Amino acid sequence: MAEQSPPAAHNEAGRSEATVSDVMPESDPGCTGPQASPQSSQESSVRMPGGRPEQGGSFASAQSRVFSGGFHPRQAYAAIDLGTNNCRLLIARPSGSNFIVIDAFSRVVRLGEGLAQSGRLSDEAMDRALGALKVCSEKLRKRNVHLARSVATEACRRASNGQDFIDRVREETGIHLNVITAQEEARLAVLGCHILLESGEGPAMIFDIGGGSTELVLIESTDTVPRILDWQSVPWGVVSLSETCGPELDGAEERSQRYEQMRSLVRDSFSDFATRIAPMRSKGPLAELRLLGTSGTVTTLASLHLDLPQYDRRAVDGLIVPTESMRSISLNLAGMSPAERRELPCIGRERAELVVAGCAILETILDLWPADRLGIADRGIREGILRSLMAAGGHPEHTRADHARAVVQRLREA
């Protein structure tokens, strides 16, 4: 019988009518540039309670601020996101209030493989991740990156040998990974994709289904960027949920039972959050609820909705899909065998075993926030990091901490 309790009993949540800014943390060891000096890259191991931030304010938007002083528009900035399932790199240059991508890289590394059972990163998983990070390191050098921030998420937060892996990455690649909190992960995802949220009144939900966790953020639209009303992080992602519920069996009935088990685990982990947001959900008609998702799950299902022969980011990023279509696709995928799913365009071998867990999480989110339409974002943490770095200006003549303090002061005075 598969273990059915959350992998690390982590379920971060809370409440507050406030937001966070998009500037770099004042001492972010995962942010490196010309003045960067080696230092510890592991955040405190104490898990901070999530939810509504205690300090008031608004999301300081890279889009609404001038990139002032200390950098040249030709300088390149980079963001690395090492997740439980994927390693992703984005390199870009500022362009007006936006940026132009000049290089990108993504590889499935399955860093969290076996973590739910052992509590550790396996040697094979670490080797796969290191291989991908060495590619990232070479691209950073070739592109002469001015300032980079490299983050690691749930797998490294949970693993007992996470710090050892972070140290090894620094020694072998020169990359200083910053293990971010679930709250920071949610904040960066919102910062990176909120521009795709449908216009409208009242609260909206933005979510990110990862490999080892899922983040949900309840926001309120403003004239510039969202105000965070509440947020939740649960330890169920496509890898952790798949491994906890065990391998798929051959029979249709067994697959259906496994899918319902997944739905039940996720539903239970959302229960407190569901209670907290119920009054906001009922403020207006369900037809006015807005929902935006960023993850491999939603982009894959959107590709199936469009019947694409192969994945096309230009067709998917920013797409609005009826939620009933996403539910129908989810149920169809859950009823298929892995071999049948592998034959579908845009799924293939790498996603065939994990997409069912993503479908279970997605359907449970649709129960929680029953919007008629779902916005699809093929962007998130990396874009959020880049906007943060560019908004901060990347001043090469100052240390990171000094510049971050200056930015914080300017935001307080704004």
Counted domains in the chain? 2
Q: Is residue 18 included in any domain, yes or no?
A: no
The 10s digit of each residue's pLDDT in 271-308 is 999 999 999 887 777 778 999 999 999 999 999 999 99
149 Cα distance to chain centroid: 15
Q: Which residues of 145-177 are buried (b: 16+ CB within 10 A; e: fewer)?
A: bbbbbbbbbbbbbbbebbeebbeebbeebebbb
127 and 177 fall within a common domain: yes
Q: Tokens for 86? A: 């994927």
Q: What pLDDT is stored for residue 11 in this prediction?
A: 61
CATH of the domain at 124: 3.30.420.40
266 and 311 fall within a common domain: yes
CB 300 within 8 A of CB 346: yes
Q: Is residue 12 included in any domain, yes or no?
A: no
Q: What pLDDT is stored for residue 13 in this prediction?
A: 61
Structural domain range at position 343? 185-377
C-alpha 250/C-alpha 396 separation (Å) is 58
Q: Tokens for 109? A: 């590394």
The 10s digit of each residue's pLDDT in 185-196 is 999 999 999 999
Q: Is residue 303 included in any domain, yes or no?
A: yes
Helical H segments across 353-396, by residue range = 355-368, 381-392
248 and 372 fall within a common domain: yes
C-alpha 82/C-alpha 382 separation (Å) is 10
209 and 353 fall within a common domain: yes
64 and 202 fall within a common domain: no
Q: Is residue 201 included in any domain, yes or no?
A: yes
290 and 395 fall within a common domain: no
C-alpha 404/C-alpha 23 separation (Å) is 7
Residues found in the chain: 414
137 and 191 fall within a common domain: no
196 and 344 fall within a common domain: yes
Kindly state the helix (H) or strand (E) to which residue 169 belongs, with its residue range: helix 162-173
C-alpha 41/C-alpha 163 separation (Å) is 8
Q: Is residue 7 included in any domain, yes or no?
A: no
How open is the CA angle 202-200-186, to the nearest 5 degrees? 65
Q: Which residues of the chain have pLDDT under 50?
A: 1-3, 5, 8-9, 16-29, 34-50, 52-71, 395-414
* Rounded-to-5 percentages of helix, strand, coil across the chain: 45, 20, 40
75 and 87 fall within a common domain: yes
CATH of the domain at 189: 3.30.420.150
Q: Is residue 8 included in any domain, yes or no?
A: no
Q: Is residue 15 included in any domain, yes or no?
A: no
199 and 343 fall within a common domain: yes
225 and 363 fall within a common domain: yes
Q: What pLDDT is stored for residue 322 in this prediction?
A: 98
Q: What pLDDT is stored for residue 286 in this prediction?
A: 73
Q: What pLDDT is stored for residue 282 in this prediction?
A: 79
149 and 218 fall within a common domain: no
Q: Is residue 223 included in any domain, yes or no?
A: yes
Q: What pLDDT is stored for residue 16 in this prediction?
A: 43
